[in-house]
Amino acid sequence: MKRLSTLAASLMAAGIGLAVTSAWSADSLQDVMKARGLSQQDLLAAAKTYVPTGGRDEFIAISSGGQSGQLIVYGIPSMRILKYIGVFTPEPWQGYGFDEESKKVLAGGRIDGKDITWGDTHHPGFSETNGESDGQFVFINDKANPRIAVVDLRDFETKQIVVNPIFKSEHGGAFVTPNSEYIFEASQYASPLENKKFYPLEEFNEKYRGGMTYWKFDRTKGLIDQKQSFSIELPPYSQDLSDAGKGPSDGWSFTNSFCSERYVGGIEDGRPPYEAGCSAKDTDYLHVINWKKAAELVKAGKAKKINGHDVLPMEVAIKEGILFLIPEPKSPHGVDVTPDGTKLIVAGKLDTHVSVYSFEKIMAAIKAGKFESKDPYGIPVIGMKDALHTQVSLGLGPLHTQYDSKACVAYTSLYVDSQVAKWDYCEGKLLDKISVHYNIGHLMTMEGDTSKPRGKYLVALNKLAIDRFNPVGPLHPQNHQLIDISGDKMQLIYDMPIPLGEPHYVVAIDAKKLKPAVRYKLGTNSRTDEAHPDAVKAGEEKTVKKGNKVEVWGSLIRSHITPEKIEAEVGDEVTIHLTNLERAQDETHGFTVSTYNVHASVEPGKTVTVKFKADKEGVYPYYCTEFCSALHLEMQGYLLVKPKGWKATKTTLAKGNYTETDYKATLKKVADTQVIIDSVVTYITSVNYKDFPEVVAMVEDAFDQLGKTKDLKAKHEGYAAKKDWESANLWAEQIWQYQVKTADLGLRAKTFLEEHGAKKVK
Ligand code: CUK
Ligand code: CUA
């Protein structure tokens, strides 16, 4: 008990006491433990994962969003979800697929002229510099519809989608070379490489092919350069996961295969099924490819064009000595190069062994021309024993391997055993095992597939959640379990349900390496990062009607949409460009027009275009969709779609019944509010607010808002002199609107300063 109370005391000191809800906030930690049935282990796990309010996570994970075609961003160790990124599929909140700029990105993913509105994302990969994750970009593949996307981590937005020109599926991607020269992907299910070309299954061995595509990445543009990308033709072996060499093995890539039997099923004709035929042999092939040399050969004109894309034929790759095979047991899945690049670890799903290959031995065999055979296509096969460093029996169903910051320590997922094995790949011995729930696929350590793994945490990506969470129907959430790997024994510390499936793989990066922007430069097209040609500054808003085209250059700022009405005739094509004029952090405005299926998320500085045909007569409210201010609901306007040739019969708007008393009351409200603003300003300027950039931005924004009231005093006084009490009152009211926003910002700044220990200045 003594130990427990010391632990409790230290947890209290660490702020854990704050985690309890108000119902028992007066109770001690022991009372809470008792009431909730928590063990000391539970508390320790809580203390290791809890991030107090305002705190930050140490690592940022970017997970595949599986069949959603998205990416999921979350923090480690808190496992709090921070964002879903729309990638291959429309994402309504972010306006992705509902505004013109993002539609252009999604159009890059059209196949055979058609939109593909779902995706099967598998393997995210960070851009690398010298083999380390650099936090600039993340790449992700779509297995079902062979595509790769580029996400820029300055704003976590998708900038580009490219379609693989020769594959019909691709699974082993997106893997990145140590300086992000190439992002590569392996085909999965062999098919004819020519587009829309039919060959019967009887010609599988001759006409169906696998391959590897190496996408050239242009880092300065932040885009894949499709013209400089190329592929290597491979046998129809169901190429699977891959990895890039690093350090001594830089320039090489490694790819598994799982059906080198080339079996094509046929149960309809009484033949044994796929799964029997595809796992019949004891070994499949690890493909070893010299991609650096391949790139040179393509430059030298040795490729042939298939579907307009450079493909290096197998005969050339064999003749030039850049393609080799090594047997690997049995129906392998993951291949993972060690941080120092000297070894590669392959796990065979149907073998308890994990095989550690030595890159040095592979090179020695190649150099000596020591091959045990050739495959049916003439590719030299290196003997397994000539390439192996060691084999270790870890358990049932080994799949994927990740690395620790400690030398020689690796973690391998055991699908069938539902365990993670910690082991030493230099000595070839098992160190520890932990059970996970249930049926783990990938696993991930912090920066664990780079040349400098960070250790600390491991995430198990479990295929089944079964009994871990409150039931929500037959479709369960996915389960990412966080494991503390800092000690000798692994400790399970958190279960995180993921409501978006199936996230195959996740990568994590030190949060300090990410430097995302808080706003765009005014008038930016976020999808191209260029100045938007249709951006406006305040006061430049306009609407132009030309023939049957209505084009609006509008703006958004608390709490106003300019223009307040858009007039069109049935059948007009309406284009609305909107610039968010805010400079304040987190002041996003959304925009939609009722029933026209458009939506934009317009973050500060961004310019977005929505476009539609006003094909229905009627009145359609448009409004801001983000609760952006106290007067967010009033951020509105009307799209008026008139029948052709419509003529107005009534030409004045209804009047309100305002009196001088209303006007005086508004003036008093304005004066009272100014007192509050002045007191806040007095406080802010009495402390060192200039030392806090966040506050400086808020203060600037506040004075911006207040500045807008300047001409309004003369305006309302002018109307008052003419006894037009409606106009006088409403223009005075408008001053108050700006004051409210000013006061709101001022109070936010004041709270920030108080919480961050601002100091008095003289
Ligand atoms: S894969 Cu191995 S468990 Cu990398 Cu697509 Cu899913
Ligand atoms: Cu802008 Cu709500």
**675-720: pLDDT as tens digits:** 999 999 999 999 999 999 889 988 888 888 888 888 999 999 999 9
Domain co-membership, 292 together with 418:
yes
3-class SS of residue 755? helix
Please report whether residue 50 resides in a domain. Answer: no
Q: Give me ligand 1 centre to Cα 524, in Å.
A: 37
pLDDT at residue 26, as a whole number: 62
Closest ligand 1 atom to Cα of 441 = 3
Compute how many other C-beta atoms are within 10 angstroms of the C-beta atom of residue 516: 11
Q: Are 191 and 559 in contact (CB under 8 A)?
A: no
Range 248-274 average pLDDT: 94
Closest ligand 1 atom to Cα of 399 = 2
Please report whether residue 7 resides in a domain. Answer: no
Kindly state if the Cβ of 123 falls inside 6 Å of ligand 1: yes
Compute how many other C-beta atoms are within 10 angstroms of the C-beta atom of residue 522: 20
Tell me the per-residue pLDDT of 125-155, one tens digit each, with 9 for 90 and over: 999 999 999 999 999 999 999 999 999 999 9
Is residue 349 predicted with pLDDT exceeding 50? Answer: yes
Closest ligand 1 atom to Cα of 143 = 5
Q: Give me ligand 2 centre to Cα 625, in Å.
A: 6
Q: Give me ligand 2 centre to Cα 704, in Å.
A: 18
Identify the nearest ligand to the CA of 580 by its number: 2
pLDDT band at 222 (very low <50, low <70, confident <90, very high): very high
pLDDT at residue 563, as a whole number: 97
CA-angle at 401, arms to 400 and 404, nearest 5°: 155
Please report whether residue 6 resides in a domain. Answer: no
* 678-696 residues labelled b (16+ CB within 10 A) or e (exposed): eebbebbeebebeebeebe
Identify the nearest ligand to the CA of 581 by its number: 2
3-class SS of residue 110? coil
Number of folded domains in the chain? 3
Please report whether residue 283 resides in a domain. Answer: yes
Domain end call among 488, 513, 538: 513
Is residue 11 predicted with pLDDT exceeding 80? Answer: no
Pocket test for ligand 1, best of 240, 504, 506, 507 (most atoms within 8 A of CB): 504
Q: Tell me, what CATH number does 297's domain have?
A: 2.130.10.10
pLDDT band at 4 (very low <50, low <70, confident <90, very high): very low
Which residues, at least 6 apart from 726, have a Cβ–Cβ distance to it below 8 Å? 655, 656, 658
What the block records as the tokens of 397 is 């169903």
pLDDT band at 17 (very low <50, low <70, confident <90, very high): very low
pLDDT band at 331 (very low <50, low <70, confident <90, very high): confident
Range 638-645 average pLDDT: 96
Domain end call among 481, 513, 545: 513
Instruction: Write the single-letter amino acid at 656.
Output: G
Q: What is the CA radius of gyration of the chain?
A: 31
Kindly state if the Cβ of 76 falls inside 6 Å of ligand 2: no
Domain co-membership, 368 together with 298:
yes
Task: Output the furthest CA–CA distance in the chain (Å, rounded).
Answer: 102
Cis bond upstream, residue 563 (ω within 30): yes
Domain co-membership, 665 together with 627:
no
Compute the distance between CA of residue 297 and CA of residue 504 in angstroms, rounded to an integer: 34
Domain co-membership, 571 together with 429:
no
316 closest CA partner among 299, 300, 303: 303
Domain co-membership, 501 together with 541:
no
State if pTM tops 0.85: yes
Domain co-membership, 491 together with 563:
no
Kindly state if the Cβ of 349 falls inside 6 Å of ligand 1: no
Kindly state if the Cβ of 171 falls inside 6 Å of ligand 1: yes
Pocket test for ligand 1, best of 415, 439, 442 (most atoms within 8 A of CB): 442
Domain end call among 475, 494, 513: 513
Domain co-membership, 197 together with 109:
yes
What the block records as the tokens of 191 is 């098919």
Q: Give me ligand 2 centre to Cα 303, in Å.
A: 54
Range 401-427 average pLDDT: 97
Beta bridge partners of 285: 327
Which residues, at least 6 apart from 548, have a Cβ–Cβ distance to it below 8 Å? 569, 571, 572, 573
Domain co-membership, 543 together with 487:
no
pLDDT band at 583 (very low <50, low <70, confident <90, very high): confident
3-class SS of residue 497? strand
Compute the distance between CA of residue 176 and CA of residue 243 in angstroms, rounded to an integer: 8
Using DSSP, how many helices (H) and how many strands (E) does the chain show? Answer: 14, 44
Compute the distance between CA of residue 564 and CA of residue 623 in angstroms, rounded to an integer: 10
Domain co-membership, 255 together with 140:
yes
Residue whose CA lies nearest to ligand 2 atom number 1: 589
pLDDT band at 442 (very low <50, low <70, confident <90, very high): very high
The percent of residues above 90 in pLDDT, for the chain, comes to 87
Identify the nearest ligand to the CA of 334 by its number: 1
Please report whether residue 19 resides in a domain. Answer: no
Domain co-membership, 431 together with 380:
yes
Cis bond upstream, residue 614 (ω within 30): no
What the block records as the tokens of 302 is 């040795």
pLDDT band at 5 (very low <50, low <70, confident <90, very high): very low
Instruction: Write the single-letter amino acid at 748.
Output: R
Range 106-122 average pLDDT: 96
Domain co-membership, 444 together with 469:
yes
Domain co-membership, 300 together with 349:
yes
Q: Give me ligand 2 centre to Cα 620, in Å.
A: 18
Kindly state if the Cβ of 635 falls inside 6 Å of ligand 2: yes
pLDDT band at 287 (very low <50, low <70, confident <90, very high): very high
Identify the nearest ligand to the CA of 622 by its number: 2
359 closest CA partner among 253, 276, 456: 253
What the block records as the tokens of 508 is 């994590």
Please report whether residue 316 resides in a domain. Answer: yes
Q: Give me ligand 1 centre to Cα 314, in Å.
A: 27
Q: Tell me, what CATH number does 587's domain have?
A: 2.60.40.420
Beta bridge partners of 325: 287, 381
Residue whose CA lies nearest to ligand 1 atom number 1: 504
Identify the nearest ligand to the CA of 501 by its number: 1
Q: Give me ligand 1 centre to Cα 19, in Å.
A: 36
3-class SS of residue 424? strand
Please report whether residue 762 resides in a domain. Answer: no
Kindly state if the Cβ of 504 falls inside 6 Å of ligand 1: yes
What the block records as the tokens of 309 is 């894309």
Kindly state if the Cβ of 699 falls inside 6 Å of ligand 2: no
Instruction: Write the single-letter amino acid at 49.
Output: T
Q: 332 is in which domain, residue-wise? A: 59-513
pLDDT at residue 501, as a whole number: 82
Q: Give me ligand 1 centre to Cα 504, in Å.
A: 5
Q: Give me ligand 2 centre to Cα 707, in Å.
A: 20
Closest ligand 2 atom to Cα of 626 = 2
Please report whether residue 188 resides in a domain. Answer: yes
